[in-house]
Amino acid sequence: MAKKCIAFLLALAMLLSFAACASGEEEAPQGSGSPGESSEAENNGESKESLSGSVTMWTFLDVNADNGRSKVLKKLIEQFEKENSGAAITVETQEWTTMSAKIIAGHAAGSCPDIFMINMANLGEAIASGCMEPLENLFYDDWTDEQKADIDNELFRAGCDGTYHYEIPLFSGTFGIMYRKDLFEEFGIKAEDIKTWEDLVKAAQTLTYVNDAGLQVWGYGVGYATDVTDPHGVLPTVLFSQEGGIFNEDGTPNDWSGEQGQAGLQFQIDLIDKYKVTPEACVAKTSEEIYNDFEAGQYAMISGGSVRVPTVKGLTAFDPDDVGFMAYPAWNEGEEHSIANAYSWNTAVWSGSQVKETAGAFLEYLVSPEADKLWCTEAQQIPVLNSTLESCAEFIDTPDNEFMITTSDIYANSALVFSGSYPITGFALDLQNAMIYAYSDGYTVPEALEQAAKDFTDRNVSR
């Protein structure tokens, strides 16, 4: 396990190894005054004044919920307010599936929370809309080179437009296969033997059975309903893994209806109709419902996000130690794994906020070394800072956090970080719609993919 932990640190260090995005010389847009004023006062020996103001934060977390991330956020708010008696942080919990779109629409209407979280698919649109205050205006220009190097990684760089940085990437992860270790052991299946999607099908067929309690257990589950959209399933990984990737350099779809895309979509259909390892009901189920069904014991494997592993473990009807996580198997010959997208919740300050100083200070507080350690050790989140990887190495090197090591392997070998330089809003919705078009609406596979590409282009490119 120690060797795996070392590999974890080395793998994540790869995300930290590239040069930071240029800071630029021109004045940052929608600024809030001289970014160096607070540090200059401190350098002159003046005490830093307590911050004040009421800050509203939108997040999918409920600070009163009984899960690691919610508890840490609540603790950090209490600590920040204690240190700044005039400040008040109010969390307004939002539905994660619609939060990003509501923020962008709210900005256009002139009304937004002071701090918010944007998902990766909406990051490019958010930056283009101007709704995010450059971090250079808040605190980044005051950071030392050492601090900047500590946070520099691909997810942080995804929120840079070439000159300014706009977000802090909290709750990073990637997608893969969540599975039942106990069922694998019972049926003589080893995760390391599932090297291709064909291998996964064979395992899923073995794992599709009725258990002693009379419960139908399915071998593999994935939610395609568009109420909740994540890039789950075979089709996204196939398009990520094809030559040239899923998007062209200008952000247009790269041959979604080509040979690779058609094979991927047909494989999704075959999982239901031909191999019978996925129930037809999945076409109308959301990924949230699939997580719930997995927790209840109805699936042996599902497509899911690594960041959800701790939450799932806390809700299972079976032994939580039996929840495993592995990379998507290979689609193309010569690959170790299919490519999965890396993601984070990109946390930012609204450019129209009237309390930017306090909001910016709290955002900075959320990614302080002390806070980053709390996110890691109390919420099992992959650290944002390289220094936290080192300080938490012993914590990470435990069986309970094996999924973090698996995630790091995916980061190093088969992860895709989307660029924030062009909008890709709704691409997961479009890929899920391709499945619905083909399976439920009477489209042929090529027609379904052509329509999905058109839907994406009409939303992001043509306008």
Per-residue pLDDT of the chain (463 residues; tens, 9 = 90+): 444 454 555 455 544 443 334 333 344 454 433 333 333 334 344 445 779 899 999 999 999 999 999 999 999 999 999 999 999 999 999 999 899 999 999 999 999 999 999 998 889 899 999 999 999 999 999 999 999 999 998 899 989 999 999 999 999 999 999 999 999 999 999 999 999 999 999 999 999 999 999 999 999 999 999 877 777 789 999 999 998 999 998 889 999 999 999 999 999 999 999 999 999 999 999 999 999 999 999 999 999 999 999 999 999 999 999 999 999 999 988 888 898 888 899 999 999 999 999 999 999 999 999 999 999 999 999 999 999 988 998 998 888 888 888 887 887 777 888 877 778 888 999 999 999 999 999 999 999 999 999 999 999 886 5
pLDDT tens per residue, range 41-67: 343 444 457 798 999 999 999 999 999
pLDDT, residue 36, reads 35
Give the single-character DSSP code of 210.
Answer: E
Query: CA-based angle 209:211:213, to the nearest 5?
Result: 150
In the chain, ranges of CATH 3.40.190.10 domains:
9-17+47-173+342-416, 174-339+420-460
Q: In the predicted model, what is the mean pLDDT of the chain?
A: 88
Q: Which of 379, 319, 316, 287 is nearest to 65 (CA)?
A: 379
For residue 109, with 0-12 CB atoms within 10 Å meaning exposed, 13-18 middle and 19 or more buried, which class applies?
exposed
pLDDT, residue 12, reads 53
Residue with tokens 């089709």: 235
Structurally, at CATH architecture level, domain 9-17+47-173+342-416 sits in: 3-Layer(aba) Sandwich (3.40)
Q: How far is CA 353 from CA 180, 270, 347, 356, 456, in A?
A: 46, 50, 14, 6, 31
Contact assessment for residue 161 and residue 286, using Cβ atoms and an 8 Å cutoff: no
Amino acid at 112: C
Contact assessment for residue 238 and residue 338, using Cβ atoms and an 8 Å cutoff: yes
Structurally, at CATH architecture level, domain 174-339+420-460 sits in: 3-Layer(aba) Sandwich (3.40)
pLDDT, residue 408, reads 79
